[in-house]
Amino acid sequence: MTVNDLQTRPRLAHTRLGTGEPLVLLHGQGLSRRSWAPVVTELARERDVIAVDLPGHGDSPRQPRGAGNAPLDQARAVVELLDELGLTSVHVAGNSVGGWVALELGRLQRARTITALSPAGLWGRHAPIFIGATMRQSRINARIVRRLAPDAPRSRWARAAFMAQLSGHPSRVPYAMANAAIHDMAAAPGFRETLHAAERTGFRHGNEIRVPVTVAFGTRDRVLPPAITRRRHELPPHTRWIKIKGAGHVPMFDEPGAVVTLLLHASGPHAGEPIR
């Protein structure tokens, strides 16, 4: 690798495949672009798919000193990537904190459409205490497993235990996906600072978004309870709200077909209209 290669290489790790209009995929807290594996191949048949590792996750380094770690700061890092790729605007889909980052990209006027799957940030001034506590415990559990049993969780019982917070049907999550999620959660170098930054605030000024917005929650989401984490007034009035039956917090793990259908429709010419 030459010095010139280092200068031009994008800071955020990403995978790009497919043809069509550009669709950026953003993962949740502690995970990586690998969480989109169940849907990428099908999406790439009709979209130019760009799956991104957010700062401090997967293969992407932490934010530079002074850049900040809140979802808005992460959105600015994605904007930097879009500039490097020569993309003025893109369709954006995000899960959990990635959904929040997708909404911030809408405020930054870099999104053509936004699809937020189980988005974080739709709470009050601060995240509910139990959400941060649950995420930190998941991180501890993942690090223990990664050190003591790096090939876990092979049994359905073990997957039911380790994936209960992420999946609506945790025992059914394929081994490879469960193992990848555990390793990503354990290894994310920016886990602490990004979680702390997200806890201290919430998504605001959604009325500034002018493009189509679709928000979808799984009916088995155990991370974000409806009563306190889905404040609709934080989003523009034209937002379309969808339920994904049987899906948990990471719906790609449970209902990949439904997620593909939703993302293609929400990023298509009839975005905002009912799915038929």
Catalytic residue among 48, 249, 254, 267: 249
The pLDDT of residue 6: 40
**271: in domain:** no
Q: Is 221 a catalytic residue?
A: yes
The answer to whether position 259 is within a domain reads yes
59 is catalytic: no
In a domain, 276, yes or no: no
pLDDT digits (tens, 9 = 90+) for 54-77: 999 999 999 999 999 999 999 999
- pLDDT exceeding 70 applies to what percent of the chain? 95
Per annotation, catalytic residue among 35, 60, 96, 267:
96
CATH code assigned at 214: 3.40.50.1820
Q: 86 lies in a domain?
A: yes
Range of the domain at 149: 3-266
Examine the residue annotation and report whether 169 is marked as an active-site residue of this protein.
no
In a domain, 174, yes or no: yes
Q: Look at the chain and report how many structural domains it folds into.
A: 1
* Residue 12 lies inside a defined structural domain of this protein: yes
Is 172 part of any domain?
yes
Kindly report the three-state secondary structure assignment for every residue of the chain. CCHHHHHHCCCCCEEEECCCEEEEEECCCCCCHHHHHHHHHHHCCCEEEEEECCCCCCCCCCCCCCCCCCHHHHHHHHHHHHHHHCCCCEEEEEECHHHHHHHHHHHCCCEEEEEEECCCCCCCCCCCHHHHHHHHHHHHHHHHHHHHCCCCCCCHHHHHHHCCCCCCCHHHCCHHHHHHHHHHHHHCCCHHHHHHHHHCCCCCCHHHCCCCEEEEEECCCCCCCHHHHCCHHHCCCCCEEEEECCCCCCHHHHCHHHHHHHHHHHCCCCCCCCCC
Per-residue pLDDT tens digits for 180-205: 999 999 999 999 999 999 999 999 99
Residue at 217 is within a domain: yes
- Which of these is catalytic: 32, 221, 254, 265? 221
